[in-house]
Every structure is written in C-alpha cells, then in structure tokens.
Structure 1
Amino acid sequence: MKSLRFEISFTTITSIAVVSTLIISLSIYVYEKLYIEFIATEVEAIAQNMAIDLLDYIDEPAAQFNQTQILLRLEEYEYVETANVYDDENNLLNSYVGAAGLSVVKNSRDEALAQSSMKFDRTPENGEYSQLSLGMHNLESKVVVVKNIGEMSFPLGKLILTFNLQEALHENRRRYVILVAPSVIALTLLSLFISTRLHRRSLRPLENLIKTMDSVVDEQSYDVTVEETNKSETAALSHAFNNMMANIKSQSQMNAQKNLLLEQQQSKLETLANFDVLTGLPNRQYLMKTLSSLLAKNQRENTELCLMFLDVDGFKNINDSFGHDTGDKFLLHISAIMSRVLPTNATLGRLGGDEFLVIVDSVSSHTDVEHIATNLIDSVMKAHDVNRLRLDSSLSIGIAVASECNYEASTLITNADVAMYRAKKEGKGRLVWFNSAMFEDTQRKIQISMRLANALENDSFYLTYQTKVGPQKDIEGVEVLLRWHDEVLGLVSPAEFIPVAEKADKISLISLWVINQTCKELPQLIARFGSHIRVSINLSAHDLNNTEVTNCILNGLNSGEISAQHIEFEITETAYMNNFGVANSFFEALKKHGCHLSLDDFGTGYSSLSYLTEFNIDTLKIDRQFVSQIGQSERSEKITVAIITMAKSLNFAVCAEGVETEEQETFLLAHDCDLLQGFLYSRPSTLSQLQHQVATK
C-alpha cells in the first residue's frame, strides 16, 4: 500500500519535472524568437552595407573581382547560405555560397538552388528568389533579404542574401540545453530535497497522530493526547482526535462504572436468587442445586449423605402474638445461632417460613448426625431475648438418609419432612429418623395430592350439614362441612385432604365449589327449615388472600346468586389475625350486602382480647376445647362464662360448638348462650339425611 508521503513526493517530483520542462521549452522558444529577430536585424544591416558597397561595382561585368571581394565578407557568418547579385534586368552578376549553403549543396550552386526550391514550399513558382519583393522574408527556417542596389527611384540591381537558420537554431538549442540543463537539474534536486524536508516536517504531526492511535489500539489506553500544531489542517485533526479521545475516555469511564454497577447488581441478583433475604442463608433454589450436586458426588463415591428437615416449634404463636417484625428478628436470631453450632460439612438453608434444611455431607455415622441435631435442638431450646422480649421455642427435626431413597433429592426431602412431622406429633423439640413405617403415611399424602386434581372434575366432593339450635332447640341454622369420597381412597377426612390441598394451592378451588354447591342446595334448606335459616360457610386464610374467591363472592352477592340474608361466612380467629387488613376490608363489603359474619375457634389465639373490639362480626363461636371441659374443669367453665359475658357486652351473638352432653347444654343455656352446635343435636349429614332426621322427630 502506497504511503501518503510517497504519493506527495511523487506528485511533487512530477510537478517539478513538468514545470521545469515547460519552462525550458518556453525559454527555448523565446530564445529562438529572440535569436531569429537578432539574426534578422544583423542580416538587414549586412545586406544594407553590402548593397551600398556594390553600388560602385554594379556596372562591372559579371563575376568581377570587386563584387566577389565584397561577397566574401560573408565568410565570417557561418549560417549564410547564399548571396546573389542581380543587375536591373534580373541577370545574375555574381553569387556566393556560404558554409551553410555548402552543407546543403555539395556539388554546385545550381544543385543548391534546385534543393532550395524543393525545400521551401512558399518560394516563387519559378524557383528563384529574384522574384521576391524588396525587404526581408522569413521562409520557414530561412531568412531571405532582398536589397535594392542604388536609389529606389533609379535601381541599378539587387542583392539577395539567404541565411539558413535551421542549423543555427539547432546548434544554439543544443548549447542552450547543455548550459541550462545542469542548473535545472540542480534546482530540481534542490527543490525535491527542500520539498521532502518540508513534507516530512508537515507530515510529522500526522505521523505522531498515527503512532498515538497505534498505541491506543495496542495498549487499550484512552488517556492520551497529541500536540495541536499551528497548521490549521493538522491542528483541526489533532483537536478532533483529542476530543475523540476525551469522549472515548469519558464513555470508557462511564462504561466501566456501568459495568461495575451491573456486576454489583448481578451479584445482588445472584444473592437474591440464591440466598434468603431475611437470614442470608441459602434459599430453596440454592439448596436444591447444592443437594443435587452433593447427592451425585456421594453416589459416585459410595458415601452417605443425610438431610435434616427443621421446623421451629411455636413460631406461629410468636408471630401471631408479637407481630411479624418480632417473628422476623427471632428467625434471624436463631438462624445465626444454628449456623454457629454446625460443623464444616453441614450446610444450613431456609426453605421458607419457619422451615430449614441442613445437608450433612460425607456422613461417617448416624451418631455424628444425631450429635449435630442435638446441638441444634439445645441451641434453640434456650430462652432468647428478641425485641426486649424473652421468647421460648424449640426445634422438631426429621432426618433422612440418601442411600435409603436411591439418592433422589425429591424423595429425600419428602422423607425428612415426614420424619419432622412425626417429631412434632411425638411432642416437639426432638429428632426423628425416617423409617419405612412412615412411608405409608407419605404415600397416603401423595395419593391424596394426586387424586385431588380429579376430585372436582369427578364430583367426588359432597356437602354435609350440622345443625345449630336455639334455646328452644329449634333449628336456627346449619354449618356446611365438606366431605370427600374417592373411588380409590374411599372416605377421606378433611383433616387429611385440607392440609394437602393448601400445600397444593387447590384449597381456593375447593372453596369456590363449596360456595356454588351451597347456593344450589340453599332453596331446599329454606323450603324445609323456613326462611329464617342461615347457612354458615367456612373461609380459610388462603381464601382471604385469593382475589378470585373474594371477587366471586362479591359478584355473586351483587347478582343475587348468593342470598346475603341466608349466608353466613365463618373464619377462624387465627386466619382473621394473620390477614387482618385484607379480612376487614372484605368483611366490610360483605356487611354492606347484608351477610352475617362469625368468628370461629375463639379463645385459642393470643391476641383475641386486644383485637376483639376491631372485629366486624355478628357471632362469636366458643371453641370446643372449652365446651368439652364443662362439668370437669371449673377454670374452663369460668372462661366460657367470661367469653359469653364479653360477647354480650359487645352485642355479639354467641354460639357454642362441640356440645355433646345435656350438662353442657344446661350450663350454656343458663348463661344465656344463643346457639348450640354439636353431636347432642346432630352429626354432619347430607341434605337428604338431614331432611329425613327432621321429618322423623
């Protein structure tokens, strides 16, 4: 690839050569013009002098000595070709052939004249110059001078001189070139040298700019500048380059900052994706990846891995009693304690809520795992000071072994979870190893979960009703209770399938089915028990948080599909407390439509009294654990009386559930209880059964 310097140098040399050639050509042309003019002047003068000198000898015979002597003066002029003397009748008297004429005509004057006539196309047709008029004639490369000898009015003859300028011009041109060429060449070389130096000097800023740009490419450094020269073009280019570098540097710094910010954000995202926001422990996603990786490693190495499923006992009560802020701080506190007591081969992570996992890698013996679990239980079972509160708790731990489930992660977690629930059933604050006997319970739950998906489609659910009677034992209302009979599992208790449905996020679909089916059977209930009958439908905490359920109820009330005066919604105290804000706004909307609200299981929570004045309810239901102790526990009786008195003072109706004996009935009616519900009056029955029971009484 040609460089700019080469191109400029080549252009300069070519320009100088062309200009020099043109100058030399012009100077030669001018020189020849001047030379011809000089020769013409000189020839004019010679001819004039010779014409004057021949005047005295014109009358002599031809070829006389005196005439010849005068003509021989022309020998000193090397470019004289011929000289002819004519008398007044144009007769040739004498002639002279000079050196120029001899070079053209070598044999004779006649031949020279013949050749001369051939050479000049503009000579007279007869081939003689004697026919030319007086004066000077330029005939191509020849100058012919015709001079009168004697007076113009009385001519005695004429002199014709011929000068051949071709050789003269050629010779003078050669001498001129020889003389001038060295100087021209020297000047050309000098100009080339000077121009090269100047080019190099002029191009130096550009070369520096190129070197700087190469360094930018090689070193990836944009903190560079070039000197701005006093030449407008290079100064503009250097200025533009410096501005470009400044902009690139600025953009590079901004990009570096953005990259740093992106890296920080990516790190935060990875942290959020893999670690629990509250405790900073590995979250479910990270635990699953870690567990899968460790299971594959232990299976390859034929070593053992154990998984602990941890649940904090009593955390729900702490959360409900002291609020979520205290609950979160308590979880953070015990997470830090558990992390400190774990060995290096154990990984602690939070599944969610109050559930944790501990992965124990490369287990050497079950004793070591039990030692780790015991340390965890002991560390949590101590009293903890959180938010200026002294809180007590414990851990229920289920332990499963990887080799017993063929190193399958999902099965291992399920086994540990089952063992943890067994630990809770056995009294909490303890560890339980998973065994094959627990597998049947697990399989039962799995079957329930799988069959639940088709239960609604197959119409496997049905409604039962339990009556509520007044002081006169008249049926004032009924509570809707859901039952499920599966063709494979048989009759499945709500205590079994409701927790599974909640975990599988199907509980709201079931609630919607219950509401729709109740509305379908409601006309028969009204027809059988009267227009005063009120049907109670239970809502779970999941229902309150599901807009599909709440919107369906409100839309049904607006359209009239749900009869507000005959429908009462029941919610447990705990569900109300955990969703207080959502529940109150929803219940206010229900109250505007004329629905009745009932608070179920009252007295089992921890914040009932502090929030009772804010509950927008109509009926307070006394939990069966107090009713069942009437006649057996004086304390339970006092609590029952206190609840009834408090409810009456707040203008709530009171319903006691779990009434099974006449002694309980007598006590409750004696203390002004409004409604009674229990096996003493009826067991949960289908609509047809309930109608038959009433008809037979």
Structure 2
Amino acid sequence: MLANTYNPLLVVCSLLVAILAAYTALDMAGRIALAEGRTARWWMIGGGCAMGLGIWSMHFVGMLAFNLPIALGYDPAITSLSLLIAVAASMFALWLVCQNTLPMPRLVVGALLMGPAIAGMHYTGMAAMRMRPGIDYDATLVALSVSIAIVASGAALWIAFRLRQRSAGRFLLRAVASLVMGVAIVGMHYTGMAAAHFPAGSICDAARDGANPAWLALVVIVVTLAVIAIALIISVLDLRMEARTAVLAASLAEANKELAYLALHDSLTGLPNRVLLEDRLAQLVRGARHSKRRFTLMFMDLDSFKAVNDALGHHVGDKLLVEVSRRLRAALPSHDTIARVGGDEFVLLSNVEDATAAADVAQALTRAIEAPFEVETHAVHISLSVGIAIYPDNGADQQELLSNADAAMYHAKALGSGSCCFFEPSMQADVYEQMQLAHELRSAVAAGEMVLHYQPKFGAASGEAVGAEALLRWNHPVRGLLSPDHFIPLAEKTGLIVSIGMWVLDESCRQLKLWHCMGRTGWSIAVNLSPLQFVDDGLVKAVQDVLRRHDLPAHCLILEVTETTAMRDVDVSLTVLRQLRHTGVQIAIDDFGTGYSSLVYLKRLPATELKIDRAFVRQLSHGTEDAAIVSAVIALGRTLNLRIVAEGVETHQQRTYLTDVGCDMLQGFLLGRPMSADAFVEALMPCDAALAATHAR
C-alpha cells in the first residue's frame, strides 16, 4: 500500500470551511423561513448553492490536503458531479427544515436521504482521481462514514429547524451548532478517507489531464469563502433592512392604531364619538332584537354651559367638559357606553331594562354633575338635562331611539335645569316641526323669504333721526312673519347663520345706499353680528366687498357685537375688531351690562359705541339701582370716548331721564317700532317736518 500524509494547513482550512458552510446553512434556513413566495424560492436556490459549495469545498480541500508519493489530479467532469450532488443535497435540506412542521418520521427519512447523498458526494470526489488499479475501501470504515453522514445530517436538520427563527440569543446558539456540525462533516470526510487504501504501484490517470492540485486548492478556498461571505453579507444586509422595515411597520401600525382611536373617540374628552356610538348602538339593537331584551338610551345636555363658555372663555369650557366626562364615567358601570356627540351633548347606552332603574341612573348622573366644579380658580355650577328612551318601546332602530331621546331631553330642559324626562309620542311632533323648519330655513334666503325691518335711532338731544338698526324677519309662506326668536337659534345650531348674516349685511348696505341717494346722507345703519359670523375667517373681506359694491362710506356702517361675544376670547376679539376698525366701519358693543366684562379688556376694544341693554332701561326711574347702573355706564362711556346708545325706550319718563344723564342716541317703541324700508321713510317724514318747523321758529 502507498503511504499517505496530510497537509495540516489544508486540514484546518477544511474544518473552517465546514463550520462556515454549517453556519450558512443555519442562516439560510432562517432567511427562507421568513420569506414568502418567489422570494423564498430565490433564497432557497441561492442558499442551497452557497451551502452545497461550502460542503463540497470542505470535501475537496480535505482531499487536496491528502498526499501520496505519486502525482495526483482530479477529473473535472466527475468533480463537477460531486459538486452538483452537494448542491442538490443542500437544497433538499433547506426545503425540509423550512416546512411548518418536522415530525420524527420526516426527520428520519430526511437524514436517510441526505446522509448517503453527502457520502456519495465524497466517494464521487474520490472517484475523480481515476486511480489505476482502483481504490481499495475498508467496508467497515465506509459503513461508519455513511453512518456518521446520516447521524450528522439528522442532527443538522433538527438543529436547523429549531434555530430557523430569528430572535435574541440565536447567534450564539447557531455558532455553537455550526461548530458541532462542522466537526461532524469533517469527521465523516476523514473517516471516508481513512477507509481508502491505495495499492503499491497505483497510478492516477487524472494527473495527466486533470486540474493541478497546487493552484486548485487556493482557487477553491478563495472562491468558496467569497461565495459564503457574499451569501452571509447579503443575509445580514437583508436582515438589517428587514429590521428597519419592521420598525417602520411597527411605527405605521402604531400610527394607524392612533388614527383609528382618534377616528372613534372625542379628541378632548377621550370618550367615544358619534361614529363609535352609532356602531355600538347598531350592535346593541341587533343583539336586543335577537334575544328579545330591552336597553336604555339617554340623551344628555349641560344646562348653562354656553353661559359659562361665553363668560370664562373656550379654554375654561374645554376643561369643564373634561371634568364632566370624568364624573359621568365614574358614575357608570364600565360596560356602559358614554359618548360625546356635540359641544355639550352626551349619549349613554345602558343595559338597564326598566323605567325605574333608568330613572335611578339618570338621577345619579344629574347628582354627579350638580356638585360645583373647580376650573382654573373658578367655582362653576352647571346641571344636566336628561332625555330617556327605552328600546323597543321608544324606537325600533338606532335613529329613532336617538331622535326620541333627543326630543325627551328638550322637554326636560323646558321643565327646568337638572330635570329628567322619558320620551312620549307627543314630543315627536315638536322634533318634526324643528326638523321641518331647519329644512325650510336652508332655502329661505334663495326663495326671497328673508326680509329686513328697520328700527329708527334718534339723537337724544336733537330728536333727529340718525339712522336705523337692521332687524331680520322671516316671511314664512305658511307660518307668516316670524321674529328672530323663532329661527335664529336654529340657524346658529345648523351653521346657516353665517350665510344669512352675510345676506343681512349686503341687504342693509343696499338699503342705506338708497336712502343716501334720497338725500339722507347723514344716516348710518347698524347690523348685528352673530357669534359664528364674528369668528368667520371671511368676515373682514366680506365687509370690505359690500362697502365697495354699494359705494358706501365705511363710517356709515355700524357692526354690533354683543358684550358676551366680544369677551368670549379677548385676544381673538381684539384681532377681529381691530381689522374691522381698520376698514373704517364703526363698532358697537351691544347688550352692555348683561355679561361679565372686565374693564381692563373693555378699554382695549376698538369700539365706538356702547348700547345699554333694555333690561336696565325697562325699570328705569330716579333712585333705582338700574338708574345708578345707567349713570355709571354713561360715565364710563364718556371716559372711554364712546357714544352711548340706550335701547328699549318705551316711556317719556325713560326718554327724559336718559337725555338728562347724557345719552347720545335713543331707540325704542316710544320713538319707532321696527318697520319695512318704505314705511321707515314715511314714518320719519312727519318727524323731519316737525324738526324743520322747530328750527324755523
């Protein structure tokens, strides 16, 4: 037999290549397990090639480490066949470990197929030497090498399946497993090499036309390490991209979750909003209809909230709503749904089935709200009006239940603050009337049903007409002439007040221009601004446009803003009023004395007039508290260089007193009622004649 030796350096290289090949196999298994569809197939092909090349390279480097005292070479075709066997076995292994499960029978079959394939690769590579006479194999060692290949393959498949998922700590486990698998593969190879015996006088036919081992060893090692390194680098880069994608996906999921929450909850109080309420109500109706159960819906509204909001500002009102929502939630079981559906409106869905229990719940809620709230050092007192509807007695679907509970709530408010009211069929007529009126109101301006009446204003000392205040009326085709009390609250609730207010502004200026053309150039017109119109972004431009359109001097237009509206948000009010004053129009503070003005803020308002509210004029007589208030307001106006207008003058005594204490202008039923434009001029003609006669004398 020929004596053989091994190159220690190449033996070590073969071991390192085996360990890297094993790690590549484990990493590829993890990549394929995470991939889907076509991506998974490409990873399997690429991983199988890299892993197969690594195993084959370990085998080939090990053979190159083997030395005989004769010239050696390797047949390229047979050597390539051994490489294909290694790649095919590697792809099979990766496919097997990337299945959803790996039961023991499948693991055994896989090991029995893969082990002989790896051994076949080894012995095919040995055949590439084309020894003559042939290699003499020790049957026992051959069987042992095949057994080692089978056991190593089974262990490798089991480890790869267990470690295919990426998680913390898996890197160290894969490194250890790769070391064990590499040693097993090397052990199989060198056991197979030990089984080979070369008879004396043997010749290697591949030495003449085969590849030269001297440079082939270097090429194989470099190429193999490069392929394995590229595969691992691509895997690492893909892993990093996957990690970044996972972070982005998590951020997107969190953002979507937040958006979904915001879409279904009120941003101020955190309570469910109308969308979520309607969804839960629909589910409750379906469940109750199926199981023949009853449940209660309550519509709630805060009494006096608007006054608090107007007096103390929106920021205080918002904080008050947050505190109200906390109390309501605290007073209810966790499984009940309390939702905010409007500014100060809430809806409760409760599993309570009878009227007595529903009344108890409503009373508990009203008691929870009655206790004073401490909001920014303010002690705020409000109450809760509750309308109650019970399914199915008061409504067979969600819209009917909500509508009927809303109707009951309005009846509760009419009974007084903090009242509760169960729905009754007669209430629906009022709700329908309001809905019908709102529908008709939308087309009233276009249909020409809105009209303006004008109440004259007179100089207190001269008694001469100085202008008028425009007052809106609705000439309803069925109901007749309606005063603002009948439709202005509805217009504000529906938002129509802005477009209606713009029409009033335009029509008032058009009429004033006609009076100017008739020679009444000294007259001015006063127009009331609603709270919604006052905060509308297009107000200033609309005022400028209407003055330009009707060619009116800006000082002839007086815009009246209630004291409450001006004090609602002082900073915003100052900005809007200054912009309006910059156009040249005059500003009147209406209903003065009825709100909660701070003189510190009042003196900053760019107003030109103060209008004393009719409430103080009504009971006016010498020595009364109202007289003292009127005198104080007039003195304040003089100090701030403001004109003082008193409205609601109905008696000669009131007129005389207001004139004596220094009012600049008066208006009221004593001097003239609101009337149409034509009647306005006719009514003032006798006054003009009387004044002319007085001046002539």
TM over 0.5: yes
The runs of 5 or more residues in structure 1 that have no matched partner are 9-186
Cα distance change on mapping 1:562 and 1:581 into 2, 3 Å:
farther
Letter in 1 for 2:422: W
How far off its partner does 1:399 sit? 2.0
Q: Deviations over 1:237-270 (max 9, x none)?
A: 1111101111121122222222221221111111
Aligned position for 1:523: 513
Letter in 1 for 2:233: N
Aligned position for 1:591: 581
- In the alignment, the residues of structure 2 paired with residue 525 and residue 296 of structure 1 have an alpha-carbon distance, to the nearest angstrom, of 65
Aligned position for 2:547: 557
- In the alignment, the residues of structure 2 paired with residue 456 and residue 605 of structure 1 have an alpha-carbon distance, to the nearest angstrom, of 32
Q: Secondary structure at the match of 1:621?
A: strand
- In the alignment, the residues of structure 2 paired with residue 408 and residue 492 of structure 1 have an alpha-carbon distance, to the nearest angstrom, of 35
- In the alignment, the residues of structure 2 paired with residue 489 and residue 304 of structure 1 have an alpha-carbon distance, to the nearest angstrom, of 40
Q: Secondary structure at the match of 2:346?
A: strand
Aligned position for 1:634: 624
**Does the CA-based 8 Å contact 1:475-1:529 persist in structure 2?**
no
Cα distance change on mapping 1:384 and 1:402 into 2, 3 Å:
same
Aligned position for 2:657: 667
**Of residues 419, 423, 439 in structure 2, which corresponds to 1:450?**
439
- In the alignment, the residues of structure 1 paired with residue 400 and residue 483 of structure 2 have an alpha-carbon distance, to the nearest angstrom, of 25
Kindly report which structure 2 residues correspond to 1:59-208, keeping only aligned pairs within 5 A, or say none: 200=82
Q: Secondary structure at the match of 1:352?
A: coil
Cα distance change on mapping 1:630 and 1:365 into 2, 3 Å:
same
Aligned position for 2:305: 315
Cα distance change on mapping 1:319 and 1:590 into 2, 3 Å:
closer
Aligned position for 1:485: 475
Aligned position for 2:449: 460
**Of residues 375, 394, 406 in structure 2, which corresponds to 1:386?**
375
**Of residues 412, 423, 446 in structure 1, which corresponds to 2:412?**
423
Q: Secondary structure at the match of 1:547?
A: coil
How far off its partner does 1:207 sit? 5.6
Tell whether 2:262 aligns with 1:304.
no
**Does the CA-based 8 Å contact 1:320-1:607 persist in structure 2?**
no
Letter in 2 for 1:269: L
Q: Deviations over 1:596-643 (max 9, x none)?
A: 111111122223434201211100111122222223982222222221
Aligned position for 1:694: 684
How far off its partner does 1:217 sit? 7.7
Aligned position for 1:399: 388
Cα distance change on mapping 1:560 and 1:230 into 2, 3 Å:
farther
Letter in 2 for 1:339: R
Structure whose CA Rg is larger:
1
Letter in 1 for 2:414: K
Cα distance change on mapping 1:254 and 1:216 into 2, 3 Å:
farther
**Of residues 220, 236, 240 in structure 2, which corresponds to 1:246?**
236
Letter in 2 for 1:400: A
Aligned position for 1:334: 324
**Does the CA-based 8 Å contact 1:312-1:395 persist in structure 2?**
yes
**Does the CA-based 8 Å contact 1:533-1:566 persist in structure 2?**
yes
Letter in 2 for 1:285: V
Tell whether 2:601 aligns with 1:615.
no
Cα distance change on mapping 1:585 and 1:558 into 2, 3 Å:
farther
How far off its partner does 1:204 sit? 5.3
Moved more, 342-351 or 642-651: 342-351
Cα distance change on mapping 1:595 and 1:403 into 2, 3 Å:
same
How far off its partner does 1:405 sit? 5.0
- In the alignment, the residues of structure 1 paired with residue 422 and residue 49 of structure 2 have an alpha-carbon distance, to the nearest angstrom, of 86
Aligned position for 1:287: 277
Cα distance change on mapping 1:600 and 1:418 into 2, 3 Å:
farther
Aligned position for 2:557: 567
**Does the CA-based 8 Å contact 2:644-2:665 persist in structure 1?**
yes
Letter in 1 for 2:604: E
**Of residues 350, 353, 357 in structure 1, which corresponds to 2:343?**
353
- Choose between structure 1 and 2 for higher RCO, CA contacts under 8 A separated by at least 6 residues: 2
- In the alignment, the residues of structure 2 paired with residue 579 and residue 312 of structure 1 have an alpha-carbon distance, to the nearest angstrom, of 21
**Of residues 400, 422, 435 in structure 2, which corresponds to 1:433?**
422
Cα distance change on mapping 1:677 and 1:306 into 2, 3 Å:
farther
- In the alignment, the residues of structure 1 paired with residue 457 and residue 598 of structure 2 have an alpha-carbon distance, to the nearest angstrom, of 24
Q: Deviations over 1:433-487 (max 9, x none)?
A: 2323332322221111111122122111111001111123221120000111121
**Does the CA-based 8 Å contact 2:528-2:559 persist in structure 1?**
yes
- In the alignment, the residues of structure 2 paired with residue 550 and residue 450 of structure 1 have an alpha-carbon distance, to the nearest angstrom, of 29
**Of residues 250, 275, 294 in structure 2, which corresponds to 1:260?**
250
Aligned position for 2:127: none
- In the alignment, the residues of structure 2 paired with residue 500 and residue 532 of structure 1 have an alpha-carbon distance, to the nearest angstrom, of 36
**Does the CA-based 8 Å contact 1:317-1:606 persist in structure 2?**
no
Q: Deviations over 1:90-138 (max 9, x none)?
A: xxxxxxxxxxxxxxxxxxxxxxxxxxxxxxxxxxxxxxxxxxxxxxxxx
How far off its partner does 1:304 sit? 2.9
The runs of 5 or more residues in structure 2 that have no matched partner are 1-47, 54-69, 101-160, 183-218, 688-697
Letter in 2 for 1:567: L
Q: Deviations over 1:508-560 (max 9, x none)?
A: 21112112222222133335572111100111121123234432222333556
Tell whether 2:225 aligns with 1:235.
yes
- In the alignment, the residues of structure 2 paired with residue 607 and residue 350 of structure 1 have an alpha-carbon distance, to the nearest angstrom, of 31
- In the alignment, the residues of structure 1 paired with residue 289 and residue 333 of structure 2 have an alpha-carbon distance, to the nearest angstrom, of 22
Moved more, 507-516 or 462-471: 507-516
How far off its partner does 1:196 sit? 5.8
**Does the CA-based 8 Å contact 2:540-2:579 persist in structure 1?**
no
- In the alignment, the residues of structure 2 paired with residue 268 and residue 366 of structure 1 have an alpha-carbon distance, to the nearest angstrom, of 38
**TM-score calculated relative to the size of structure 1:** 0.67
Aligned position for 2:209: none
> How many residue pairs align between the two structures?
515
Q: Secondary structure at the match of 2:443?
A: helix
- In the alignment, the residues of structure 2 paired with residue 583 and residue 554 of structure 1 have an alpha-carbon distance, to the nearest angstrom, of 18
Q: Secondary structure at the match of 2:361?
A: helix
Cα distance change on mapping 1:352 and 1:650 into 2, 3 Å:
same
Q: Secondary structure at the match of 1:406?
A: coil
Q: Secondary structure at the match of 1:642?
A: helix
Moved more, 459-468 or 273-282: 273-282
- In the alignment, the residues of structure 2 paired with residue 457 and residue 375 of structure 1 have an alpha-carbon distance, to the nearest angstrom, of 48
Letter in 1 for 2:432: Q
Aligned position for 1:414: 403
CA RMSD of aligned residues (A): 3.4
Aligned position for 1:97: none
Aligned position for 2:364: 375
- In the alignment, the residues of structure 2 paired with residue 666 and residue 433 of structure 1 have an alpha-carbon distance, to the nearest angstrom, of 52
Letter in 1 for 2:564: T
